[in-house]
Amino acid sequence: MIDRAAVAAARQKLSTRPDFLRTTPLMRLPGAALGVDCAEVWLKLEQTQVGGSFKARGMLYRLLANPVPDSGVIIASGGNAGIAVAAAARALGVRCEVYVPEVSPEAKRARLRALGAEVVVTGAAYSQAFEACVARQKATGALQAHAYDQPEVVAGAGTLALEMEEQGGRLPDTLLVSVGGGGLIGGVAAWVQSRAHVVALEPERAPTLHAARAAGQPVDVEVGGLAADSLGARRIGSLCWDISQRHVHDALLLPDDAIRAAQLWLWKELKLAVEPAAALGLAALQTGAYQPQPQETVALILCGANFDPASLA
């Protein structure tokens, strides 16, 4: 069970390595500054985290909470989770092997190599890279980290919401959270529970949680589109599915053109460089997919920035 106690325990363990994790900024703007009819919009700038995404929290916790063998740690990742594991492994002085799908951007692969990870590119999609990773782990005995479906990974991600509550002095009324495999929203919802609304946001071409809700259980979906490199899981994680049944209020879908427009707006208007997966919250507000009340405070988690900045031109 991932609950508030689990998130608090993750926070306590992570506090033993203040040299690694950062307390990321919380930007608070009036809704009108973003063209939104609500009282306030909070931007949690997790793209400034170590490794460029929220994933550093859960991946460091995974390594701190388990013995790491001489063969090191291994993970399959579209990029962000692998970068986070590689950064944590380097900080702890352990080996790291990362399996990435062919869809992963070269910018993320280069970052992995710069962090000292051995990078294996295999499979057209994340699911195929994951299968190859599992086979390799069985052969080497390395500690396996999962991009989104392990208790430490989910609880570690939840520390982001705990931190936001401390910074804001309270929770916002609503949190709009991007979903791939569900590690982020699982952790956020585990901390928030019924104290605020948690809304899941997915690209139309990667609707893992939306499809699971329609089917009544996790199911495989075809994935593609603009954000597939970081929101490219084919099935919602079991931990997220369990938590979302209790604490996630809605799952909304957004088209690629709206995601791209929001990404460019964040750069042009606020000079915030984020990957497409981090722009879904603003896209939901700009398109009206989520319509806040005039008195509402809405939080957006800008969850990562591992992409080619030339794409913002």
Which amino acid belongs to residue 23?
T
pLDDT mean over 97-126:
90
Tell whether the model's pLDDT for residue 228 goes beyond 80: no
Same domain, 23 and 61: no
Whether residues 302 and 194 fall in one domain: yes
Residues 190 and 257 in one domain: yes
Decide which of 120, 145, 170 is a domain's last residue: 145
Same domain, 123 and 268: no
* CATH (domain of 32): 3.40.50.1100
Q: What is the pTM of this model?
A: 0.95
Check whether residue 18 and residue 119 sit in a common domain: no
Mean pLDDT confidence for 230-237? 83
Q: 279 and 267: one domain? A: yes
Tokens representing 28 are 């608070």
The Cα 76–Cα 71 span in angstroms is: 16
pLDDT tens string 136-156: 999 999 999 999 999 999 999
DSSP state of 53: B
Q: Which of 111, 145, 179 is the last residue of a domain?
A: 145
Give the tens place of pLDDT for each residue, 21-38: 999 999 999 999 999 999
Instruction: Write down which residue in 125, 145, 165 finishes a domain.
Output: 145
Statement: residue 104 has pLDDT above 90: no
Residue 38 shares a structural domain with residue 69: no
Q: What is the mean pLDDT of residues 123-144?
A: 93
244 and 176, same domain (yes or no): yes
Q: How far is CA 117 from each of CA 8, 73, 88, rounded to the nearest angstrom?
A: 30, 10, 11
Which pLDDT value is given to residue 105? 79
Task: Round to whole Å and give the CA distance between 119 and 257.
Answer: 31
pLDDT at site 310: 86
189 and 299 part of one domain:
yes
Q: How many domains does the chain have?
A: 2
Relative orientation angle of helices 4-14 and 183-192, to the nearest 10 degrees: 110
What is the chain's mean pLDDT, rounded? Answer: 94
Weakest mean pLDDT among 227-231, 249-253, 274-278, 302-306: 227-231
Residues in the chain: 313
Let me know whether 47 and 59 are in one domain: no
The alpha carbon torsion through 148, 154, 160, 166 (nearest 10 deg) reads 170
Q: What is the 3-state secondary structure (H, E, C) of 180-207?
A: CCCHHHHHHHHHHHHHCEEEEEEECCCC
* Structural domain boundaries enclosing 71: 55-145
207 and 265 co-located in one domain: yes
For residue 125, the number of C-alpha atoms closer than 13 Å in the C-beta half-sphere is: 15
Residue 183 has pLDDT above 80, yes or no: yes
Residues 59 and 49 in one domain: no
Residue 78: pLDDT over 80: no
